[in-house]
Structure 1
Amino acid sequence: MTVVSPPTPFTPAHLRERVQEILAADALPPIAQAGHPVLRQHAAAFDGQITAVELEQLIALMRRVMHEAPGVGLAAPQIGIPLQLAVLEDKFDVDPEAAAVRHRTPLDFLAVLNPRYTPVGGETAAFFEGCLSLSGLQAVVVRYERVRLQFETPGGLGREQEFEGWQARIVQHETDHLLGTLYVDRAELRSLTSNAEYATNWAEPGIAKARAALGFLSEYP
Structure 2
Amino acid sequence: MAPESDHAPLAERVEELLAAGGPLPIVAAGRPVLRRPAEAYDGSLGPALLARFVEALRLTMRAAPGVGLAAPQVGVELRIAVLEDPAPVPEDIATIRGRRPQPFRVLVNPVYEPVGTARAAFFEGCLSVPGWQAVVARHAEVRLRAEDERGRPVDEVFTGWPARIVQHETDHLDGTLYLDRAEPRSLSTNEAVAALWSQPTPAAAAAALGFELP
Smaller-chain TM-score bracket:
over 0.9
Q: Partners in 1 of 2:142 and 2:197 — Cα distance?
A: 27
Match of 1:211 among 195, 206, 210: 206
Q: Which residue pairs with 1:146 in the alignment?
A: 141
Q: Which residue pairs with 1:115 in the alignment?
A: 110
Say whether 1:75 aligns with 2:70: yes
Q: Which residue pairs with 2:3 in the alignment?
A: none
Equivalent residue letter for 2:95: A
Q: Partners in 2 of 1:156 and 1:93 — Cα distance?
A: 31
- Whether contact under 8 Å (2:92, 2:200) holds in the other structure is yes
Structure 1 vs Structure 2 CA RMSD: 1.0
Q: Partners in 1 of 2:79 and 2:128 — Cα distance?
A: 17
Deviations 1:179-220 (A, max 9, x none): 000000000010000001111111111011000000111xx4
Say whether 1:89 aligns with 2:84: yes
| Cα drift, residue 45 of structure 1 | 0.4
- Whether contact under 8 Å (2:120, 2:139) holds in the other structure is yes
State the 4+ residue runs in structure 1 displaced beyond 2 angstroms. Answer: 11-14
Q: Partners in 2 of 1:174 and 1:26 — Cα distance?
A: 24
Q: Partners in 1 of 2:195 and 2:154 — Cα distance?
A: 42
Q: Which residue pairs with 2:16 in the alignment?
A: 21
Match of 2:160 among 151, 156, 165: 165
Q: Partners in 1 of 2:153 and 2:98 — Cα distance?
A: 27
Which runs of 5 or more structure 1 residues have no equivalent in the other structure?
A: 1-10
- Whether contact under 8 Å (2:22, 2:56) holds in the other structure is no
Equivalent residue letter for 1:86: A
Match of 1:38 among 17, 22, 33: 33
Q: Partners in 2 of 1:159 and 1:195 — Cα distance?
A: 34
Q: Partners in 2 of 1:173 and 1:182 — Cα distance?
A: 8
Q: Which residue pairs with 2:61 in the alignment?
A: 66
Which runs of 5 or more structure 2 residues have no equivalent in the other structure?
A: 1-5
Deviations 1:19-42 (A, max 9, x none): 111111134221100001110111
Aligned pair count?
209
Deviations 1:90-141 (A, max 9, x none): 0131111110110111111110100000001011100000000000000000
Q: Which has the higher helix share?
A: 2
- Whether contact under 8 Å (2:81, 2:170) holds in the other structure is yes
- Whether contact under 8 Å (2:87, 2:99) holds in the other structure is no
Secondary structure of the residue that 2:96 maps to in structure 1? helix
Identity %: 53
Q: Partners in 2 of 1:46 and 1:157 — Cα distance?
A: 14
